[in-house]
Each structure stands twice: as C-alpha cells, then as structure tokens.
Structure 1
C-alpha cells in the first residue's frame, strides 16, 4: 500500500492517519504492525489478524445488546452517521483510502464498536486476559487507527447512555493508557469532554496528555553531553520528577546559598518493560511524521526516493517533540550499563529487563530519529556548565573520596555558571 511519502502533498490534504516511511518502520517492523486486531485499512489484509475479524464482530454484537434500543435500530443509526462522514473520513487518510464507500462505512462501524466494547469490558474487568495486553498495544500503533471523530460519534450513539459519568476521553486515559505510558505520571487532558475536533485518533490523545506550553530552542542539543556516571562523579544527583505538572517534566534543583553540595536533576520515571519500546517508537513516529502535530514542521513537500530517504521543506515550526526530546536526552545520558544501574538506583528508571538489554534499548531508540527542536536545551546547558565548572576546579577526582560527603554534608551546590539562585521551578516538556 502506498504511504504518505509517495504522494504530491502540494495537491493533497494533509492526512492525520498514515503509514510511516519505509526507512523508519523497517528498523522495527514489530512496533508498527498489529499482532491481534487490525483497526482501519492499512493492516486489514494481514494474515495474522484474520482470525480475530470474527472477534471484532462478536464484540460489536455484545455492545449492541447492552443498549436499551433494539440492536438493529442502533446499528442503522451508526451506519447513517458514518455514511454522512465518509468524505471527512477519507480526507483523514490523505487519499490512501480507495475502498468503496460502503466498505469504508462497514469497516468504521465494526472497528468503532469493537474498540468501545473492548474498553467497556476493560472497565468492567471482564476482558479475556490472554489477549488484553496485545490488544491494548494494538490500539496504540500509529498505523492501526481510525479517526477519533468516528469513534466519538459511535460512542455517543451507544455507550454514552451507559457511561454517563465518564467521557470517552476519560475511559481511554484511565483504562486504555493506564500502565502503558512509558513514563510513570498521571496523565491528564485539559479539555476533557466531547469535543472530538481536538483529537485526531487514539494515539493523538496519549500524545496530547503530555502537552506543555514550554517553548524550546530550534535545533539539535547544543550542550556537550555527559553520561550519568560522569555527572555522578561531579556530585550531581538524579531523582524522579514526581511533582511536575506535566508527564515529561525535567528540572534541576539546587540550594539557595550552597557552595559545594550536590545539584539534583529531576527526570520523568521511565519504566522499561515489554511495552516500552513499542509505545515510544509509535509516539516518536507520530511526532516525526504527522504533518498536523503542533510539534514539528508543517511540510510543503516531502519527496521519497527509491531508498525511502526523505527531503523535508517547511515553512513553520512548532514545539512539542516531547518523546523525541526525551529519547535524545536518554541517549546523551546513557553510554553503558553503568549509567543504567545508576538511574535504577536513583529510581529514575524502573527496569524489568537486564541492565544490558535496557542499555541496548535506550541506545537503539535514537536510530533514525531527527531532533529539530530539543525540549531540554536549558537543563542540559546547565548540566554542561556545572560539569565544566567542577572539572576546572579539579574536583572530579576529589569527589570520589568518601570523606568528601562527611566533610561537606548533603544538599549544597555551587550556584554558578548558569545555575542561578534559588530552586528552579520544574520545567515541563
């Protein structure tokens, strides 16, 4: 199937649901292809998901019998609503959806009903455990999406009468995304409710839950990077950022009048498990390639050669590359397993793999990622300034002496060279 990069975007509406470029997806095919259920058109023909097409229809039937109105009457209303939205639905796929209108409507109704019934079963703790994990992950794959306004409209015609206290957004945040966000933080959406125009698809909601108003400097990280072990030798501590207002917040804290103590870098808590790489890859792909996300370039033209290489031209830049910046920051901090061990000891990483596998995963996430706007420029410049200051004082070796802590005591810091005075407020990104 053709993807967004095979089209002339000068004459095409910018899609909100698309396939990622071949050169990117081939690095980790398993992160983008669904394992159990296909949602939308891109993977509908995959052989591995055919067995669960019957499950999708069964879940649609289960949803319809929950309602007070006759199932056939509700189904007709769903098809009528979707048929009225066919043109808008096709625009979301940017000309890549060439199926007959009746086939499109049938796919949208079945997939929407399946998702809603699955969410309801999860809400009721009544979902088969043997497929729960795989289906939840399938719903977060960037190529496995339907327009959110379709899902919202079917919700309004079905579950709204049952879930009177919970909006569709709330159900997704609390029951689909719960435990699957790679950073341990309470997710929130500012405009919770039924304004489906604010969201493009399910993955977009997870991304918007990390929204921040913090501006960032254009360009790659400017500061020289230092590993966790190097910064630890310079007496910098790492702690979880548990008090930030945003899920991806990062900040440096230090004492007002400290002279020789330790600064603290507070970071999002990263859980490394079987879901981490998949979710991060899809969120990063969303930031890298969705022409509508308000976090990167709006493209004028995106050609692709035979090798899948991209040439981007843009006329505007926004800043919300939360997950791209986070992966770049980890890549700057982690050089070896020793860095992972230190972050685990500091409770910044919850690692359910071996330290070797965790380090390999972190370094591998940077493959193919283009960071045009780094959300942690200020924090990493402060780290570089502090490290250079400590090194110039000849203190790095001195700090290795255990008598140093006994002499100075904890929680003091040189507030010099860009570190300012007083405690920094948490910077969100």
Structure 2
C-alpha cells in the first residue's frame, strides 16, 4: 500500500479508474462494471491458445494454490478471503493482464475499451499482483503462443506507454532484468530507470533549493537533453572550456514527457520508492530536481524551449502546478544529484554569472527596459561627445 501521507495528498492517484487488480480495491463500486470485460479478455486469450481452456485454468489454479501463502504475504489485506475465492481472483487478474497485453498490442483484435485507462491502472502501486506469480501464469498461457518470449520482454509495449522519459527502452536492457528483483509491473517500470552499469554506485544526499530555470538561464545556464548511454536519468554539468564562453554553462538532463497520466505514474513510482527500503530513490531524486527548477509557467516554457520537457498535457501553468504538488509530504529530501547541484550552485554564485543575471534582470527583462537602456546609452554618448568638442573649441 502507498504511504498514508502520499495517499491523503492525492487519493485519486492511487485508486483504479477502470479495473481492479488484486484484493485491495476489489470492493470499489467504480471498478465493478469492468469485471465482465475482464472475463471477455480471458476467454479470448484462451481461444487463441491451442489447448483446452479447462486444462489451462486447472494448471493456473494449481500454481496459485502452491504459492497461496507467499502471494497473500505480499498484501496488507483488509478483508478475509477463503482460499477458493482468493485463488480464482488471482488467476482471473493474472490472465486478464496477459490477455489484455497480448490482444491489445499483439493481435489488436479487441476494441480499445478504456484501454488507456486500463494501462495506467496497471501501474498503480495498490493495484498489483506479485510478479513471480504473473510469471507462473505466463508460463501456462502466453508461452504456448510465444515460446521464445520472456515475461519482461512481453511487457515491452506496456512499458513504452508508461515511460515518463521516452527513453527508447532497449530490449537488451529488459532481457537483463531479473524476475527475482521485480516485485510487480510498477517495479518493472522502475527497473528500467536504473543505471545500466552494475558497478555504478549512487549515493543519496540532501541538496538545498537552487534557483529556478528562468533565473539560471539569466545567469547563463543552458539546459540540453541528456546524452548518457548508461543511465536515462543521468544529469551532468558541462562547464566552459574557452575564454570566449566564460558566461555559459550547460546542465544536461532527461527529457520529461508530461501528459494527463504523468502525475499518476510519477506519484506511484515515488510511493514505491518510499515504501520499499531496498529501492534507491531514482524517481524521487528527479522529482525534487524538476520541482526546484519549476516555480512558474515561465520556467516550464524555458525547459520546453530547451527540449528537456515536452508538454502534452495542456497549458504550461497546469504543468507547473502539477510539478509543484508532487514533492509535498515526502518523508525526506534526498537526491542522487548533489554533485551536479553543488557545481551548478557554485557557478551561479560566482562573480560573472551573478552579475550577468543581475544585468539581464535589471536592463533586459522587458522591451521598455531595453529601449530605456539604449536611449540612455545614446544620450550619454552624445553628452560625452559634446563635452569633448566643447573642450577642443576652447
């Protein structure tokens, strides 16, 4: 379950809109109507498998009974289920997930009834089933249709839709993800954001709030997309190397894609990191960074112009409001980007960027300020010239 403080802050981010997976939201009236659709997906999946549906379902039921206690131990159950009821629920939900992915992305033979809502319900922390059990049902069903496919690779189309950073997920990366390290579908998405190199060691540190994207831009800091081949969430500072570029500094960062479902996905990934002590705060660290950079819609516009943020949500003000709400009520402020932020802060506070920022804010913040500066400069030059000619005439 999501931490209480996060759920209270945004309860709608943790409740399914269409489909319930597992026991935690089973009695929610909103998802009751979709139970028939679930059965339709499962029936269609069985019809594609060249085997008796009864034999397949019996095999699935054997799997769930063999792992019953292990599966139940994954939940904070608020209701008592008998073994038959619980087993049927878990088999139905596992088969539905696999059938939905197979029929929607492979066969494309079923109407996309609320398909987008279903996809994002599958990433909710409180709407999961254990990945090890999903793997067992996968072996009983999808493997008969796609014998050379792993469960993780089978999830690829789903992950592409859920990916917050459109990182062009490499199938080789997915093939290296261990089932043992994956708790559920949300956990699988989180695995995609880990550094590729096993020897990469990331330490968490507290960082102070720096200046916004607009303020940093005025001081000569530029933002560009991340070029890292080893970590999609990697950030790096590029400091000037030449005398004529003394006023420029570049922060390379991930490209953040914002749409109507971004807040839900982001909140659930953060909740997963908060809830799991064995998981590093990759997403939480990024959330703190983007929250520090964005104060207003002008900051959003600057990041969009810099091609490190894509707004498919609506107005820039909506994006700014969403980002500003994300980090509220988090238990602690830890970041994996302390080194980059210290470098950025030291650069901003150094003599030239600091004064350049002040000059831009004072003299170049509006057309009228620029006109006033130009007129004042011309008037000053004319006074100097007049003074020189007066002295020469004498």
TM-score normalised according to structure 1 size: 0.78
Determine which of 78, 83, 90 is the counterpart of 1:108.
90
Tell me the residue number matched to 1:334.
294
**Cα offset for 1:284?**
0.5
- For the Cα contact (< 8 Å) 2:160–2:166, is it kept in 1? no
Q: For 1:129, what is the secondary structure of its paired residue?
A: coil
Aligned to 2:318: 357
Displacement of 1:95: 5.9
Q: 1:143 to 1:332 in 2, by over 3 A?
A: same
Counterpart of 2:18 (choices 12, 19, 36) is: 36
Counterparts of 2:109 and 2:231, CA distance in 1:
32
- Residue of structure 2 equivalent to 1:382: 343
Matched, 1:147 2:133: no
| CA–CA separation in structure 2 for the residues paired with 1:179 and 1:396 | 40
Structure 2: how far apart are the matches of 1:279 and 1:250? Answer: 21
Question: What is the Cα deviation at residue 22 of structure 1?
Answer: 3.1
Q: Is 2:104 the partner of 1:122?
A: yes
Query: Do 1:217 and 1:373's aligned partners in 2 also have CA atoms closer than 8 Å?
Result: no
1:74 positional shift: 1.0
Residues 1:169 and 2:155 are matched in the alignment: no
- Once the two structures are TM-superposed, the CA of residue 245 in structure 1 deviates from its matched residue by 2.3
The structure with the largest alpha-carbon Rg is 2
Are 2:355 and 1:394 aligned?
Answer: yes
Structure 1 residues 198 and 191: CA distance shift in structure 2, 3 A: farther
Contact in 1 for aligned 2:247/2:353 (Cα 8 Å): no
Alignment root-mean-square deviation, CA = 2.2
How much does 1:149 deviate?
A: 0.9
State the structure with bigger RCO (CA 8 A, min sep 6), 1 or 2.
Answer: 1
Counterparts of residues 264-303 of structure 1 (less than 5 Å): 264-291=250-277, 294-295=278-279
1:272–1:349 Cα contact (<8 Å) kept: yes
Task: Give the secondary structure class of the aligned counterpart of 1:266.
Answer: strand
In structure 2, the partner of 1:63 is: 45
**Residue 211 of structure 1: how far off its partner (Å):** 1.1
**Do the aligned residues in 1 keep the contact of 2:247 with 2:352 (CA within 8 Å)?**
no
Q: Partners in 2 of 1:118 and 1:148 — Cα distance?
A: 16
Partner Cα distance (1:194, 1:161) in 2: 22
Change in Cα spacing, 1:392 to 1:163, as seen in structure 2 (3 Å) is closer
Partners of 1:373 and 1:97 lie apart in 2 by: 36
Q: Which residue of 2 aligns with 1:298?
A: none
Tell me which residue corresponds to 1:409: none
Indicate the structure with greater helix content.
Answer: 2
Q: How big is the shift at 1:219? A: 4.0
Give structure 2 stretches of 5+ with no counterpart.
365-394
CA contact (8 A) 2:219 2:354 kept: no
| Aligned mates of 2:354, 2:25 — CA distance in 1 | 59
Query: CA distance change for structure 1 residues 394 and 255 in 2, over 3 Å: closer, same or farther?
Result: closer
Greater alpha carbon shift after TM alignment, 235-244 vs 122-131: 122-131
Partner in structure 1 of residue 141 of structure 2: 158
For residues 219 and 194 of structure 1, what CA distance do their matches in structure 2 show?
27
Aligned partners of 1:230 and 1:193: how far apart in 2? 41
Corresponding residue number in structure 1 for 2:224 = 239
CA contact (8 A) 1:328 1:371 kept: no
Q: Structure 2 CA distance, aligned partners of 1:398 and 1:348? A: 26
In the alignment, structure 1 residue 369 sits paired with structure 2 residue 330: yes
* Counterpart check, 1:228 vs 2:216: no
- The number of aligned residues is 356
In structure 2, the residue corresponding to 1:237 is in which secondary structure? strand
User: What is the distance in 1 between the residues matched to 2:59 and 2:38?
Assistant: 19
Higher mean alpha-carbon deviation, 57-66 vs 104-113, is at 57-66
Task: Give the Cα–Cα distance (whole angstroms) in 2 for the partners of residues 77 and 332 of structure 1.
Answer: 52
Shift in CA distance, 254/164, structure 1 to aligned 2, threshold 3 Å: farther
Question: Contact 1:216/1:373 (CA < 8 Å) preserved in 2?
Answer: no
The CA deviation at 1:151 is: 0.7
Q: Write out per-residue CA displacement over residues 373-398 of structure 1, whole angstroms, 9 at most, x where no aligned residue.
A: 31110111111010011457633345
**Is the 2:240–2:246 Cα contact (8 Å) retained in structure 1?**
no
What CA distance in whole angstroms lies between the structure 2 residues aligned with 1:69 and 1:364?
50
Between the aligned partners of 1:339 and 1:120, the Cα distance in structure 2 is 41
